[in-house]
Structure 1
C-alpha cells in the first residue's frame, strides 16, 4: 500500500481526509517488521517567467494607481494570498512570520504555478476592493 499527499512547510501532519488510510498503513507495518518508509521530495510545478513577470507588473500598476511602492503591493498581495491558501513564510522555529500587512507569504521566486495564480488573484482583489481596475 502506498499513500501520497502534499504538505506545505516543515511541520508534518497527516492532512485531513488521509487519516484512515495512514492508520491502515501503520497497522500493516506493525504486522510486518514494524517499520514504514517515508520519502520526502519537493512537489514543484515550477512557475513560469511569464507568471512571475505578470505578478510584478500588476503590483507596479497598482502602486502607480494607488500610491505606494511595488514592494509594498507585493507584500500586501502575499499577505492577502495567504488567506486564499498561499504558503506562509516561517521562521527558523517553524512559526509564521508576521509583517505589517498580516502574515508573510513565501517569496514569489519559490511559488509554483498554482501559488502564482493565488498571488495574481490577490492583486486583482486588492485593486477591486479599492476601486481600481487592472484589466489589460
Structure 2
C-alpha cells in the first residue's frame, strides 16, 4: 500500500498545464478528452490551460486537489472517486481494480491516511538514505539540472 499512500502527497501542491494538457485535448493521441476526467473539472481546466500555450505554461499552475489545495487531508482520495485526479497517474489509482479498494479506504478515514502516510514516508526515507543518490530539490529535474 506504500506507493498509493505516497501519491496522497498530491492532496497539496500544484502542477503546470503541460503536466496534464493531453488529458484535456489529446488523450492517448485521440484528439479527445480523457473520458475518466470529471467533466466539470475538465471545463475549468480548459479555461486555465488552452490547447497549446507554452508561454503561459510556466506561469499557470493548477492545484492537484481543487477542493482543499492547501490542506493535507483525504480530499485527494475523495476526488479520485469522482474523476477529479489531475494527473492520469493519479486517476488510474481509482480506475484500477487492484488499487480501488485502497483509495476508498483512505478516502473514508483521515486518521488512517495520516497514520499510513507517515509510516510510508519513514519507510521511503530509510530506502533513500541507504542508497547512492540524492533527493531532488525540484521534482521535475535532477539536482544538477535544477536552477
The normalised TM-score by structure 1 is: 0.24
Higher helix share: 2
